[in-house]
Amino acid sequence: MDRLLEYAARHPLLVGGTVVLALALAAYEFSRSRSGGQAVGPPEAVRLLNQGALLVDVRSQAEFDSGHILDARHVPQDQVAQAAETLKRFKDKVVIMCCESGTRSSAAARVLQAQGFTNVVNLRGGVQAWRAENLPLVKEGGGKSRRDGTRA
């Protein structure tokens, strides 16, 4: 510790420059982590959906089939970059990204933003938060979907 303090005393410009660079890097990483768009909770997502927003579910096929939000478009996370071309007509509309917990969809939101989508938001807490609010999910199966989450 004494040697570190001695070094700092002898080289204040180097130490100061290192501190400034570390702070700049931390600020950059913080802003980059927040660039996945704003996050909205389930009630706000319902309001946006009622106003014509597009909901993109990036979970796996099995997760999607086990229960998804009505009218959600399924695009697995690893296919978001390729699907941006088919979603391009929504570039200037609100696009809500969702997954099970909100983590994967945040990364997917950043991918769409990098491809020019201007209003991408993430469903905070994902489908788990949607369930916690007792909002309806649709399950696929038997050729018929029902809003209450039961199979026909």
pLDDT, position 147: 42
Does 127 lie in the same domain as 56?
yes
In a domain, 137, yes or no: no
Q: Annotated catalytic, 99?
A: yes
In a domain, 139, yes or no: no
Does 63 lie in the same domain as 27?
no
Q: Which domain holds residue 84?
A: 37-132
Does 42 lie in the same domain as 9?
no
Rounded CA-CA distance 140/115 in Å is 31
What pTM did the predictor assign? 0.69
In a domain, 143, yes or no: no
pLDDT, position 141: 60
Mean pLDDT by 10 residues, the chain (152 residues): 88 90 79 65 96 96 95 95 90 94 92 91 95 92 42 38
In a domain, 113, yes or no: yes
Please answer whether residues 63 and 72 qualify as being in contact, where contact means their C-beta atoms are separated by less than 8 angstroms: no
Q: Which residues contact 75 (CB under 8 A, 6 or more apart)?
A: 56, 57, 58, 83, 87, 108
In a domain, 80, yes or no: yes
Catalytic residue, from 40, 75, 99, 108: name it: 99
In a domain, 26, yes or no: yes
- What is the distance, to the nearest Å, from the Cα of residue 81 to the centroid of all Cα atoms in its chain? 14
pLDDT, position 34: 54
